Amino acid sequence: MDLIPTMPDHSLEKPAHCRRKEARPTEIIAAALHLFDEKGYAATRLDDVALRAGVSKGTIYLYFDSKEALFNAVVREGLVAALSGWEVRLANDAGNSSNLLGELVLDFSRMFGSDQAGAVLKLALSEAGNFPDIAHTYHDCVIEPGIDLLRRVVMRGMARREFRSVNPEIAAHIILAPLLMRVIWEHSFICGGSDVPTERYLAEYLDLVLEGLQSAG
Amino acid sequence: MDLIPTMPDHSLEKPAHCRRKEARPTEIIAAALHLFDEKGYAATRLDDVALRAGVSKGTIYLYFDSKEALFNAVVREGLVAALSGWEVRLANDAGNSSNLLGELVLDFSRMFGSDQAGAVLKLALSEAGNFPDIAHTYHDCVIEPGIDLLRRVVMRGMARREFRSVNPEIAAHIILAPLLMRVIWEHSFICGGSDVPTERYLAEYLDLVLEGLQSAG
Amino acid sequence: MDLIPTMPDHSLEKPAHCRRKEARPTEIIAAALHLFDEKGYAATRLDDVALRAGVSKGTIYLYFDSKEALFNAVVREGLVAALSGWEVRLANDAGNSSNLLGELVLDFSRMFGSDQAGAVLKLALSEAGNFPDIAHTYHDCVIEPGIDLLRRVVMRGMARREFRSVNPEIAAHIILAPLLMRVIWEHSFICGGSDVPTERYLAEYLDLVLEGLQSAG
Amino acid sequence: MDLIPTMPDHSLEKPAHCRRKEARPTEIIAAALHLFDEKGYAATRLDDVALRAGVSKGTIYLYFDSKEALFNAVVREGLVAALSGWEVRLANDAGNSSNLLGELVLDFSRMFGSDQAGAVLKLALSEAGNFPDIAHTYHDCVIEPGIDLLRRVVMRGMARREFRSVNPEIAAHIILAPLLMRVIWEHSFICGGSDVPTERYLAEYLDLVLEGLQSAG
DNA sequence: CATGAATGAGCCTTCATTCAT
DNA sequence: GATGAATGAAGGCTCATTCAT
């Protein structure tokens, strides 16, 4: 499966000519993301994507080879957005591990709080059956790095005797879960959901996790 | 949306007549569940459901009014399976709250370990966009009771000074998340996934959560 | 096309045994007639015919080879009913031709006033496209004899100088038309229709026709 | 029931672009009319309509929401065609009523002689059971105005002592019947039918009717 | 580049017909 | 004979994809 959409490289064109034209693919992707997230891949009609993007249906095919290619582009865009969020200063940060974990969680919250990354997370999970390649790519490029980051923070904390001894791999999964779940939640039970504001949720969550990790001493 | 499929009540028919007949709806539901879980609602063809159930396409319509009705039946079946799992002895159990929480988690694991309940959980989340009624029903009948159970255990622990003071509502969500996430995981990244066996995962998870809840004293 | 339904000859069975059984074909035909008339051939489901006849769907096939065969039987039954109505004493009646025409019209009205013959008339016209054989048979067995009868009365009247000189063939058609039309009317615009009672309609009709035929002298 | 098909208004589009495009709906309606007339609504396949119209099946759905909507459009078209035929100069015509009636009949004959109006008349009667709304609309918009016109001519004749005293309402029905019947005839017993040419039929018919209406003096 | 009319493969659904009981 | 569960061919409808303008 080709994750890179058929998209002409406009990088050498004069920049101030027609901003709309260059934004087209992005606008289409944004429209598609919204609808894929809302209705799922299969139930989303290209007509609706075109309508929402303000272009004709045929135009979509100028930039993407097929509906599946569009889906790939959507996910890839969200992938990039997500990846950029995982950039942490893990190494050069000299603070204590609890703070480091706290910042990681905030980063995460900011990243998946955007429609972009959040919707793609849900998409990757929902459509995993029909697009195993995407599921794998997403897992390898987003989930695994995130887990890895958490694992390293946990190991750092253990090494510095700030955290008690746990299985870092599993702990990372468990720590990540409530964050992912919260994202899925908001994209599935749109109306209603829990009325707990994100800040409180994160605070309480961090409190619980850190307490659980805290070294006995 | 009607969650009860149009399904004749066979309970009064002659029992030794044709054993297959009474099992048909169940077989169809099982086949449908498998495919819905694997490919999603829209991408599942009724032909394939029929093939897998070992019946003709028309037969499906003897028991279900439409593809959507079949989907409803599938979810409802999983709902029942899930609900039966939440039966806990919360009240008459005199043990300490940590043990109680541990048992709850085991119950949960058993329940959603079955394909039935697990697949339906993933379905409810994946197809929430297209079937808001189902999403709501699932939330109200499965998720919310589960959260409530956890909340009550947390409050019990706090009342008995076994747990420190936390927000029970949020804590319940956070405690539930890794369990749900694990289920989703297994239904999305089928091959691969984490190679951590469920028992170890649960043990580590319980350890972390209980440590996090532990009263300081 | 076979106008004779596959129907076992019960004429030699003991008569007082099980009246229902022998009446089955007739009951099925009656139910079919009602539904064919109401909804047309294609829109009538055999399930509904069975339901209305109080038998199972399979039973229909004990008496009729196919839906088309049932339709044929229905029409043929109505044909017989209609034909029996055309039995007139044309020859031995010595009265004047106006009276003779009046009696013919009354006969006609009685015949097509029954649901049986009336419905079949409408059926034959409506479904002529799909069942040309039936249309022809109906035309040859019912319409043509009726026209012929009228023609002979008109010719008799002309021969006896009771009627003025007209084209008997055409006159017969024109005289028949309002009678047929009235029947069609009642089977098409069921509710509403004209509120003129049949008696008045016939009287006025006869008055107009006879006046039109009246010899000038 | 909505008699107006979902049909984009092309009146403002560039005219010299693609002559075919604007004719499409009309061509589809014509093809549908032919087949509906020939085989009835239910027995007509949209594939066949498409084939006859020289378009693909999907194209039909560009202009009509459903088979039923297409049927509505067909009837409505025929309705318009029929209504335009009932335009008579009743008021300003100073001639005698017999002539007026004669002209009305010619108008009628011209109108329903076209496939359009004639086929729709038969359709309205045949499919009245399945489309009561259409039957009513047709009755109210075509039949009733026609009857009304005839009634007014009859009353005019009576007022001017050209016609004898009859019930105008009933007379109108009776006068209309042979005309309608002739139309139905031609659409039902396509091959064969009576071999009397329309002109002779009309002449004989008028002769009979006028004679019947003639004032005794 | 952009459009949107046209296409046709594919799927849900219906229903006449069969057949084991 | 009678039943009604099961069948599967057929048709209405959708929508991703193409292409002439």
Q: Does residue C50 register a pLDDT over 90?
A: yes
pLDDT at D93: 65
What is the pLDDT confidence band of residue C164, given thresholds at 50, 70 and 90?
A: very high
CB D183 within 8 A of CB C184: no
Mean of pLDDT values over A159-164: 92
Question: Residues 23 to 62 of B: which have CB under 8 A from any A CB?
Answer: 37-43
Query: On chain F, which bases lie within 7 A of the protein's CB atoms?
Result: 1-21
CB D131 within 8 A of CB C38: no
Contacts of D151 in chain C (CB under 8 A): none
CB B169 within 8 A of CB B148: no
Mean of pLDDT values over D160-176: 93
Query: On chain E, which bases lie within 7 A of the protein's CB atoms?
Result: 1-21
pLDDT at A47: 96
Q: Does residue B17 register a pLDDT over 50?
A: no
What is the helix (H) or strand (E) element at residue B132, kind and residue range? helix B132-138
Mean of pLDDT values over C174-193: 83
pLDDT at C196: 82
Least-confidence region, from A119-123, A177-181, C102-106, D38-42: C102-106
- The pLDDT tens digits for C100-143 are 899 888 888 888 888 889 999 999 999 998 999 999 899 988 88
Least-confidence region, from A185-189, A201-205, B120-124, C91-95: C91-95
DSSP 3-state of B92: coil
What is the pLDDT confidence band of residue D87, given thresholds at 50, 70 and 90?
A: low
pLDDT at D115: 81
Choose between D64 and B91: higher pLDDT: D64
Which numeric CATH code is attached to B77-213?
1.10.357.10
Mean residue pLDDT across chain D: 84
Tell whether D13 is within 8 A of chain C (Cβ). no
Q: Does residue A11 register a pLDDT over 60?
A: no
Q: Does residue D12 register a pLDDT over 70?
A: no
Q: Does residue D19 register a pLDDT over 60?
A: no
Of C37, C135, C182, the CB nearest to D189: C135
Closest CA to D116 of D19, D47, D31, D20: D31
Tell whether B211 is within 8 A of chain A (Cβ). yes
- Interchain contact, C188 vs D43, CB within 8 Å: no
CB B105 within 8 A of CB B172: no
Neighbours of C3 (CB within 10 A): 14
Total H helices, total E strands in chain B: 10, 0
- Interchain contact, B196 vs A38, CB within 8 Å: no
Q: Does residue A86 register a pLDDT over 70?
A: no
**Helix axis angle, D67-85 relative to D115-126, nearest 10°?**
120
Question: Residues 110 to 129 of C: which have CB under 8 A from any D CB?
Answer: 122, 124-129
pLDDT at B23: 77
pLDDT at A116: 86
Angle in degrees, CA B154, B158, B161, rounded to 5: 140
pLDDT at A37: 93
CB B65 within 8 A of CB B72: no
pLDDT at C177: 93
pLDDT at D85: 63
Tell me which chain C residue has its CA closest to the CA of residue D192.
C136
- The DSSP call for residue D12 is T
Tell whether B68 is within 8 A of chain A (Cβ). no
**Nearest nucleotide over every DNA/RNA strand to the D54 CA, judged by C1':** E6
Assigned CATH topology for domain C19-71: Arc Repressor Mutant, subunit A (1.10.10)
Percent of chain B with pLDDT over 70: 81
pLDDT at D92: 60
**Residue C9 is which amino acid?**
D
Q: Which residues contact D144 (CB under 8 A, 6 or more apart)?
A: none
Percent of chain D with pLDDT over 90: 53
Q: Does residue C90 register a pLDDT over 60?
A: yes
What is the pLDDT confidence band of residue B108, given thresholds at 50, 70 and 90?
A: confident
CA distance A153 to chain B (A): 16
- Cα separation of the two ends of chain C: 52
Choose between B33 and C1: higher pLDDT: B33
Q: In this structure, what token pair is assigned to residue B40?
A: 């999603």
pLDDT at B186: 86
- The pLDDT tens digits for A45-64 are 999 999 999 999 999 999 99
Q: In this structure, what token pair is assigned to residue B146?
A: 């589960």
CATH superfamily of the A75-213 domain: Tetracycline Repressor, domain 2 (1.10.357.10)
Q: Which residues contact B96 (CB under 8 A, 6 or more apart)?
A: B160, B162
Radius of gyration of chain A (CA): 20
Least-confidence region, from B32-41, B133-142, C64-73: B133-142
Mean residue pLDDT across chain B: 83
In whole angstroms, give the CA distance from residue A10 to residue A7.
Answer: 9
Instruction: Map out the domains of chain D as residue ranges.
Output: 19-71, 75-213
Mean of pLDDT values over B5-17: 42
Mean residue pLDDT across chain A: 83
What is the helix (H) or strand (E) element at residue C182, kind and residue range? helix C168-188
pLDDT at A145: 87
In whole angstroms, give the CA distance from residue D168 to residue D162.
Answer: 14
CB A112 within 8 A of CB A179: yes
Q: Does residue A201 register a pLDDT over 70?
A: yes
What is the pLDDT confidence band of residue A6, given thresholds at 50, 70 and 90?
A: very low
Tell whether B133 is within 8 A of chain A (Cβ). no
pLDDT at C21: 64
Mean of pLDDT values over A144-165: 91
Q: Does residue D155 register a pLDDT over 80?
A: yes
Q: Sort D194 into a burial class: Cβ within 10 Å, 0-12 / 13-18 / 19+.
A: middle
Most confident of A81-95, B68-82, D38-52: D38-52
What is the pLDDT confidence band of residue D162, given thresholds at 50, 70 and 90?
A: very high
Tell whether C213 is within 8 A of chain D (Cβ). yes
In whole angstroms, give the CA distance from residue D86 to residue D153.
Answer: 13
Q: In this structure, what token pair is assigned to residue D95?
A: 């001639």
**Helix axis angle, D168-188 relative to D97-113, nearest 10°?**
30
Closest residue to E9 measured CA to C1′: D58
In this structure, chain B runs to a length of 217
What is the pLDDT confidence band of residue C80, given thresholds at 50, 70 and 90?
A: confident
What is the helix (H) or strand (E) element at residue A209, kind and residue range? helix A198-213
Q: Does residue C27 register a pLDDT over 90?
A: yes
Tell whether C162 is within 8 A of chain D (Cβ). no
Q: Does residue D152 register a pLDDT over 80?
A: yes
In whole angstroms, give the CA distance from residue B105 to residue B101.
Answer: 6
Mean of pLDDT values over D115-144: 90
**Nearest nucleotide over every DNA/RNA strand to the D62 CA, judged by C1':** E5
Angle in degrees, CA A209, A186, B104, rounded to 5: 50
Which of B211, B213, B214, B215 has the most A C-beta neighbours within 10 Å, making it the best mutation to test the interface with A?
B211
User: Rounded to whole angstroms, what are the CA distances from D64 to A48, C136, D75, D133?
Assistant: 19, 35, 13, 18
Chain A meets chain C (3+ C-beta pairs below 8 A): no
Q: Sort D14 into a burial class: Cβ within 10 Å, 0-12 / 13-18 / 19+.
A: exposed
What is the pLDDT confidence band of residue A21, given thresholds at 50, 70 and 90?
A: low
Least-confidence region, from A29-43, B8-22, D146-160: B8-22
The dihedral of CA C57, C63, C67, C70: what is its sign? negative
pLDDT at D91: 59
Closest residue to F21 measured CA to C1′: D17
- The DSSP call for residue B163 is B
E-strand spans in chain A?
A: none
Mean of pLDDT values over C14-40: 79
CB B101 within 8 A of CB B206: yes
Q: In this structure, what token pair is assigned to residue A88?
A: 């942490």
Closest residue to E13 measured CA to C1′: B66
pLDDT at D66: 96
pLDDT at D3: 42
Total H helices, total E strands in chain C: 10, 0
Q: Does residue D103 register a pLDDT over 60?
A: yes
